[in-house]
A and B are shown apart, each in its own frame.
Chain A
């Protein structure tokens, strides 16, 4: 089976996010007065061949933890779907 994995990497809560803060500071000038708590992150997508979803999830999680996110400051969230 082939799965599409989407991994979203975000800074951990409590870790300063200068990129999100800078975006947020620019918002009033653009008229977005109702928007708050902006956090910047990254997303990755890749395909995984695996016999079942559990195995695909385990491969994708390991990839996210070992490479895509730096666990010292970041956390990741994984979504999987069959393609």
Chain B
């Protein structure tokens, strides 16, 4: 049976159907989850997709963190379930304390919507396990608050523990250490600003996101079989 990937819909989320379609193109079943439910149901992985959850009021992710579904996402993550936050989803994961640091306004205050050249820097995560270290991927970014910020201790820990999973080849937004994506200690929670679902078909101009989505589907399948 295809692993089931839950895709959380907050009011203002706008990439949920893209993510469902993209994960289904690599063999999973996508299941939309409503932010107001406090249960995830039978899913083997969770994606917090991009958009503007709760209108991005206050700060991106600041209000989404209090949506009822987040308690269930936190429990799922704690139990080792694969959780991936894409763009706004990454912002939600940092606000919720599931990943360290914060995403600040881009350097130069520019909204960025362009392909970004990325380098895979760790394969010890549910999103990069099928990739290879040093592999280059071109995947679109689409954000105003993607400037990853953390204190020096956190950065040292992220690097020492091999938790920076993706870096920008050319830093577009001012992120510390060119960080585009990070994982938690166990590697089962990952946040990234680029949108792999927008690089998942030749029609979209790139299929470089597929290796990331396949990694996630593999992790979900492993969990489904367990």
Q: Is A67 an interface residue (CB 8 A)?
A: yes
* B107 and A18 within 8 A (CB): yes
The residue in chain B whose Cβ has the minimal distance to the Cβ of A71 is: B102
| Contacts A15-B149, A68-B58; A73 near B102 (Cβ below 8 A) | yes
Q: Is A55 an interface residue (CB 8 A)?
A: no
With contacts A19-B105, A19-B109 known, what are 17 further pairs, Cβ within 8 A? A15-B104, A16-B149, A18-B107, A18-B109, A18-B174, A22-B109, A67-B58, A67-B62, A67-B66, A68-B58, A70-B95, A70-B102, A72-B94, A72-B100, A72-B149, A73-B104, A73-B149
A15 to B107, CA, bound (A): 12
The residue in chain A whose Cβ has the minimal distance to the Cβ of B173 is: A18
Interface residues of B (CB under 8 A from A): 58-59, 62, 66, 94-95, 100-102, 104-109, 147, 149-151, 174
The residue in chain A whose Cβ has the minimal distance to the Cβ of B108 is: A18
A72 to B59, CA, bound (A): 13
* B102 and A18 within 8 A (CB): no
| Contacts A67-B58, A67-B62; A72 near B108 (Cβ below 8 A) | no
- What would 30 A/B residue contacts be, using CB atoms closer than 8 Å? A15-B149, A16-B104, A16-B107, A16-B147, A16-B149, A16-B174, A18-B104, A18-B105, A18-B106, A18-B107, A18-B108, A18-B109, A18-B174, A19-B109, A22-B108, A22-B109, A67-B58, A67-B62, A67-B66, A68-B58, A70-B95, A72-B94, A72-B100, A72-B101, A72-B102, A72-B149, A72-B151, A73-B102, A73-B104, A73-B149
Chain B proximity of A26: nearest CB distance (Å): 12
* B59 and A70 within 8 A (CB): yes
* A70 and B62 within 8 A (CB): yes
Chain B residues, Cβ within 8 Å of A15: 104, 149
Chain B proximity of A72: nearest CB distance (Å): 4
A69 to B113, CA, bound (A): 27
CB under 8 Å from chain B, chain A span 57-75? 67-68, 70, 72-73
